[in-house]
Amino acid sequence: MKPWIQRFTMISILCTGLFAQMDWFGYLESEWDQINVNRQPYNFGYLKLRLDLESRPTESVLVAANVNLQQYMGKTRWNLLDFLPATSWQSFYPPGSEYLYTYRDTLYLDNAYLRVNFTHLDLTVGKQPISLGTGYVWNPVDIFNLKDPVDPTYEQTGIQALRADIPLTSRGGLTAILTPGEDWDQATKYLQLKSGLGSFDFTLNWAQYMGLFRYWEIMTYTGTAPTMTQFQSLGGTVVGQIFGIGIWAETWRKQHAEWGNKTYWETVVGFDYTFENGWMILNEFFYNEQGSKPDRTGLYDYFAYFEGQTHSLMQRYDFFYSSYPVGDFVNLGLLSIFNLDDHSAMISPQLDWNLFENGNLSFWYLYPVGDNDTEFGFQDAGWRIRLRTYF
């Protein structure tokens, strides 16, 4: 038998044994988008396959992973300057400049972790999903993830971390998270204490981590400006229900080590309610003191936001979402995001159609409102179609 046949046979046997001991599931997703920015049409999409694997060697041990394969279609070479108001970059680049980014097909390990349940401790190590906070669109206490306000429920990429969960009461406990860094000072240390009272749950959160240093806001500066600094942060969350109305809030106070230990506050408050006929409304207000102001928003502010260094571009936002079921298989929705600082908005009528069991088709129309030099107003209308099938 030839060597390559022997290797192929051995790999096949090993994979067969591995899959026989594991549960596997996932989904296939296809999306196509059309938008116009800076008078340039962008037609693009992707085909994504997510494969999840789970195994329980014993009742107290979980091994889990998922692999994502994503293939891009349409326009894959983007000029990032098209996605910024011209007033934000014209002082840095001449008209007609390009800042190119190319989307390439990817195959990556999204999550891969081991969870062990002891009598008084749950320990998780590896690249794992971490979700913190009670907000729907914005989570000030979540320093690991950044949501897309137009699609806030989409899955987040796993975080490399060591996590320990210690139950203290029937409704709460202590969570400790440590992510690696070049040294101890640059590692992220995070603690969360959770408890409950009546129909409300509370958390107290503390973190030490490296975060964005907005050096470009300092008018007088000598020497080399750092882009990151260590933050010491403290905050908390609350979520509950009163008279059938769901309410939640988060607040986060972060203090950095540069320029007199300056502090910034982030706060989110929101509510939702579902009527007897299935009509649901949700509203959320977000304040980010570290965000820029309309008259001082520049190129670096946009780059910091796109890179996920801040939860929002500017300081004050309001999010509204409403949905209504039409029959058993179709759901109509309306999503809107308002930038209360520059008075621009993105309004998105939506349709979700359960085509068949484990299959869903979504259609979104995006309509921007505002002046040409605002966050949303410089864009043109666009649309998105997404088809997802679970297996």
Note the pTM of the prediction, 2 decimals. Answer: 0.88
The encoded tokens of residue 391 equal: 């297996």
The encoded tokens of residue 353 equal: 């159609």
Closest C-alpha to 203, from 132, 303, 266, 294: 132
Q: What is the pLDDT of residue 374?
A: 92
Where does the pLDDT of residue 136 fall: very low under 50, low under 70, confident under 90, or very high at 90 and above?
very high
Q: Provide the terminal-to-terminal Cα distance of the chain, rounded to the nearest Å.
A: 37
Note the Cα 321 to chain centre separation in Å: 18
Per-residue DSSP letters for 187-229?
A: SEEEEEEEEEETTEEEEEEEEEEEEE--GGG-SS--SPPPSEE
Mean pLDDT to the nearest integer, 293-311: 86
Where does the pLDDT of residue 19 fall: very low under 50, low under 70, confident under 90, or very high at 90 and above?
low
Q: How many other CB atoms are there within 10 angstroms of residue 133's CB atom?
A: 23
pLDDT digits (tens, 9 = 90+) for 194-234: 999 999 999 999 999 998 877 666 544 444 555 788 899 99
Closest C-alpha to 175, from 237, 254, 106: 237
Q: Which residue has the tokens 């640059």?
A: 186
Beta pairing partners, 123: 116, 164
pLDDT digits (tens, 9 = 90+) for 224-245: 555 788 899 999 999 999 999 9
Share of the chain above pLDDT 90, in %: 71
pLDDT digits (tens, 9 = 90+) for 336-363: 999 999 999 999 999 999 998 999 999 9
